Amino acid sequence: SRTRQPSLRRRGSSDPDRSEESSYYRHNNNRGNHDRIEGFATRRTHISNTTISTTRMARIFTLVVVSMLMFWGSLWGIESCIGLSRVAINMVLGERHDHQLDDESVFGSGDLSSEDGAEDFSEDPSEVLIHENSAGLRGSFDPHNNSGHPGAESEETPQGLSVHDLNARSHLLKAEGRQIINDKPMAVDEDGKGEKSYMGNDSTHDLFFAGATIEEKRLVNRKGRIETKSYPAHSYALLPVLLDSNPFSISIWINLSPLTKSDENNGVFEDSRRPRVILSTRSENYSGCHSDVFGERPATGIVLYAQPHYDDKAGNDAEANTYQVVFEYARAGKKLCRTLIGSSKNVQLIREGEWHHITIFATRMSTESEEERISLYVDGDLSGRNEHELRQFSSYHSNPKTTIGRYATQVGSKVELSAENNATTHWELDGRVGMLSFWETGGHSTLSTDFRRMTIESASNEDHVVRAINRAAFDIRAIRELSLQGSFLKEPTLLYTFDGQNQHKVSNELYSEYSESPHLIEEVISGRDGSIMSELIDGMLVHQRQAFIPLGANRYSEYKDGTFVPPKLKASERKDLNEIARARSGIVKKAMQHAWNGYEKYAFGKDELLPISRNGQDNWGGQGTTLVDSLSTLWIMGMKKEFNKARDWVRDYLDFSQVKGGVSVFETTIRNLGGLLSAYDLSGDKVFLDKADDLGMRLMRAFDSRTGIPYGEVELFDGGHAYNTGWHSNQAVLSEIGTLQVEFRYLAKITGKSEYATNAMRALDELLKLDAEFGLYPTFIYNSKQPPSFGNSDISIGAMGDSFYEYLLKVWLQGGKREMKYRHMYDKSVNGIIDKLVHMSRPNYLTYVAELKRGRVVHKMDHLSCFLGGNLALGAYTHPNGLDSLTAQRQLKTGKQLAYTCYQMYAQSKSGLSPEFVMFDNGAKEDFKKGHAPYYILRPETSETLFILYHLTKDPVYREWGWEIFQAIEEHCKTDAGYAAIKDVDRMTQDNRMESFFLAETLKYLYLLQDDTNDIDLLNTHVFNTEAHPLKRLSLAPEPY
C-alpha cells in the first residue's frame, strides 16, 4: 500500500506543492473524492444555528482582542503587536474552520445523518481538505521534521517506523474520505524528490501483538499432501490499571484479522456473529448488570468491541467482513447495561485487514452538571454520542486490571476469561492493537498530576483532540508532544505502544508454547507495565504446556518403503509451514536455555550436571566436558552471552594438565577437541585454538603404538601415558580408530602442524589395508603387534562400529571430494550393509539393520544405528555419479526406510521415546519390542537423520517427526534443573544423568531441523563431526596464525 503524508506545516506558511498535491489526488482518487463530496455536503446540511452564533461571537471577540493589542502595541512596539495579532487571528480562524467541518451537536447514537439534501461545494474538496489539515495543527510536531521544533521543514523520510506503522498512516486521511492506498506499492523516495510514499502490505495482519502462529492440525491427506490449519496465538494483554474510574479519553488503533475458510461450514461462517473485543474493564459487582451479549455474572465497567455488520440487501448469510464499533458500559447501582452503537455508514465501518482508529470520551459536561457525555469516534469522525446521569463506571479494586484483546471479568483480584473453552465464545479480538493512549480528563486524580491532565469541556474539544491523535497515528513522539497543538491538549496519562513497539522483534520470540513468563508490554510514560498472555484455542494458556501424548504407531505408512515423494508445496503452504517451524525452533532454544541455566547454576565447569540431585560430577576427568561440548550449540542458537561466559571459563580455568586419571581418546576427541575446534571455527576466538592445540598435543600420545593404531585411553597430565582399556587390553575398537580423522585434520590445517593429520590418517589407512569382506569391519582390531589384524568376527553398525562408516564419507567430503579411496571404501561398505545386514520386518515391513555375531544374524537394531539413515542420504546426494544414479538412489531409498523405522521406535513406545535398542521377531504380532535395555539416555541419532533428510529433501514430514520427539523429551525428561535420562520408556521413570551430547547433539539437531536461517550447508561448506560440531571443509578453514 502507498500512503502520502498529510501536510503538517503551520497555518499561514507558504506551500508551493499544494496545487501539485491537489492535482495528484484529483487524478488518482476519483472514488475517494466522491465519498468526500458526499461527506462534506452532509456535514454542511447539519451545521446548526448554535454553531453559526458561536462563530459570530468569535469574530466579535477577535476584534476586541485586536483593538486591545493595538493599544498595547504603542507601548510594546509595533512588531510585537503584529505578531500577537496574527496568533489571535489564527486561533479564532482555526476554531471557526473546525466548526465548519465538524458538527458537535446533532449526532446521536446509531447513524449520524441523512444522505439527502447534499449541497455542492464551489471549492475543490481536495483543496479544502488540505487546507483543513494544515490549519488544524497549530504548532504541531511534524514526523518528517528532525529539527526538534515544530514547524520546521525537512525532506527526510520517516525513520524508525515499521512497515505496519507506515501502513497505519494510510488511515490518517480516511476520516476525510481520501483514497490514499494504491495497488502498486512504490518505494520511499529517500532523496526527497517526487512523491513520498510507503511500501508493502501488512504481512503479519493475522497475528495479534505479532504473536507466533500456533499449529492446530497436521495430517497427510490421501494425495500425500501435508495439510495444516494454523491460527494466531490467541493473545491478550493485562494492564495494571482501570481505564474507566474517572472521566477519561481512550485512543486505540486496531487491525482485525480476516476470517479464513477454516471458519466456514458449508459456506456459512459459524462464528461470524461473535463480537471481537478490543478492551474490557468488567468487574464483578452485584449492583451491576447482566450483559445481553456477554452474559455471565452481574458486573460494572466497559467493553469496547466490533460487532459484525451485514448488508441488509445481501441478507444475514453474507460474509461478515465489516464491523460496527460498539461501546457497552455498566454503572454501579444501575442494573442496566447501556450501549452506544457506532454508525453503520460505510465510511464508519471497521474492515478486516486494515488499521482503524477508535477514540472514546466519557466527559463530564460541566463542573456543575450531573451529566456526562459518552462519545465514540471512528477514524477521526464522530460515530455516536450519548448523554446520561453522571456515575462512576467501575468499583474500586486494590489490584485493578484492564484486559486488551479479549473479554474478561475481574472477580476480586483475579481476571476470569469467559467460561467456555470453545474459541467461538471467547470473544477475542483476533487481530492486533497499537498505540493505546489514555487520559484522565476529570474527577479525582489517580494516575496523573493535575497539571498534566487534559481538560475536556465541549464537544469541540473532543473533535480537536481526535484529529490531533488521528494525525499522530503510530508516531510516539507526536503523541507525547500533543501539548504543542493546543492549550488544553496534554501528553497521555498512559501510553502502551503494543505493535508500535514490538515490530522489530521476531514473532516467535514473543510467544512460545513453553515460555516461562508472559511477555512484558511497556508503558512508556509512567512505567505501569502490563503483561501479554498467550492462549490456545482449547482455552489452555500457551505457556502452561499441555501434556504430550504419543500419536500412535504406523502413521505416515507411505514413507516406510522409502520411495514416497510428496507433492510440491505451494508457496503459501511453504510459508505457513516455515512460520510454524520458526516458532518451534524458538521453543527448542528455550529448552537449551533451561538445560544450560541448570548446568550453569548447579554444575558450571563440571563434566556433567546431575539434573535430579542438582549437582555436578567430573566423570570425564574434570575437563568441563558439558561446557565445552555445548559451545557450538550456544553459538548457533544465538546465546552469545552464555557463549562468552563459557569462553571466559575456558580461558581462565580449563587446564588439561590437571585432568585426573586416564580418559577415552575417542570421547575426548569428539566432545572436547571437537567442541573447541567448532567454537573456533564459528567465532574465530583464538582462546579456543590455543586450548585445542594443547589438548591435541596431549592426545598424540595415544598414537605411540607399534601399529600406529591408537590406544583407547590416555593420561593428559604432564608425563602421562596411553594404553588400551582394561576389558580389551590388546585390542582397539573399530569406531574409536576411525572417528578421529575429521578433528585432527582440521587441527592440522588451522595450526600448520601436519603431525596431527599424519597420525590420524595413518590409523585409518592401516585399517583399509585389511581385507574386510564386503567392506564390513569387525568391531575389534589388534593393535599391540605388527601388523594389525581383526580381533573378532562381530559386525555392528551400532555400538563399537557406527562412526567408522560415518567418517569414511565425511573424510572424503572434508578433503574436497578428492581422496577417492575413502569414497570407494565407503560405497563398498554401504553395499555390504544393504546386502548383508538390512532386513524387513513383519507384519508391517519395516526396514532395519541387523548385526552379525560370530557369523549369525542377530535381529537387533541399536538406536546408535539410526545415524545411518541420514548418512546414506548425504552419501547419495554427494555421489560422484550424481543423485540420479542407481547407486545413489539405492542409498537414498534405504536411508529413508531406516529413518521411518527409527521414527517408529519412538512412536510405538508409551512415552514417545526410543529404547536403547529393539529386537525384531518376524513371528510376532508386532514388528519389534524393546530389549533388556529399555532406557533412553537422550540420544541424538534419530534427530540427526531427520535433520539431514530435511536439509537435503525439504520434505516437511521430517520436521513433524522431530517435533514429536522433542515434545516427548519435554514431557518426560525435563526436570527443574535440566533434562534427565529415562530408565524405561514405557514406565517413564527418570534417571539422574544428563549426558553432554544432549546439549551438543540432540538439541542442536532438533533446533536446526526447524531453523532455516542458519548458514550450515552440508553439500558445499560444512562437515559435522560425530558429536554434531560443525567444521568448515579444509579448503575453507582458517589459515594458521
Point out the residues that are catalytic: 667, 802, 916, 941
Q: What is the DSSP letter of 88?
A: H
Name residues whose C-beta falls within 8 Å of residue 534's C-beta, 6 or more positions apart in sequence: 211, 212, 233, 234, 235, 511, 515, 518, 519, 541, 542, 543
901/562 Cα distance (integer angstroms): 11
Residue type, 1028: A
107/229 Cα distance (integer angstroms): 45
**Cα separations (Å) of 709 from 255, 722, 762, 782?**
68, 12, 8, 9
Name residues whose C-beta falls within 8 Å of residue 41's C-beta, 6 or more positions apart in sequence: 117, 118, 119, 120, 121
Among 801, 903, 222, CA closest to 562? 903
Strands 322-330 and 337-341: antiparallel
Give the angle subtended at the CA of 115 by the CAs of 109 and 119, to the nearest 5°: 125
503/164 Cα distance (integer angstroms): 8
Q: Which spans in 770-819 are helix H? A: 802-814
**Sole residue written with cell 456473529:** 273
- What are the grid coordinates assigned to 795, written together? 559386525
Max CA separation in the chain (angstroms)? 120
533/856 Cα distance (integer angstroms): 60
**In the structure, how many helices (H) and strands (E) does the chain have?**
27, 41
Strands 615-617 and 371-378: unpaired
323/306 Cα distance (integer angstroms): 5
502/495 Cα distance (integer angstroms): 14
784/778 Cα distance (integer angstroms): 17
Which phi and psi angles does 765 have, rounded to 5°?
A: -65, -35
**Sole residue written with cell 595413518:** 762
Among 745, 163, 722, 217, CA closest to 474? 163
Q: Which spans in 102-169 are helix H? A: 125-135, 163-168
259/298 Cα distance (integer angstroms): 31
**Cα separations (Å) of 49 from 45, 46, 105?**
11, 9, 10
426/892 Cα distance (integer angstroms): 49
**Sole residue written with cell 506503522:** 165
Among 116, 140, 114, CA closest to 5? 140
Residues 222/564, Cβ–Cβ less than 8 Å: no
**Sole residue written with cell 474500586:** 396
**873, containing H or E segment:** helix 867-877
Compute the chain's Rg from CA coordinates.
Answer: 36
511/214 Cα distance (integer angstroms): 10
Residue type, 301: G
534/82 Cα distance (integer angstroms): 60
Among 412, 429, 442, 422, CA closest to 299? 412
Q: What is the DSSP annotation of 902-913?
A: HHHHHHTSSSS-
955/794 Cα distance (integer angstroms): 36
With the C-alpha atoms ordered 721, 727, 730, 734, is the resulting torsion angle positive or negative? Answer: negative
- What are the grid coordinates assigned to 271, written together? 462464528
Which phi and psi angles does 919 have, rounded to 5°?
A: -110, 130
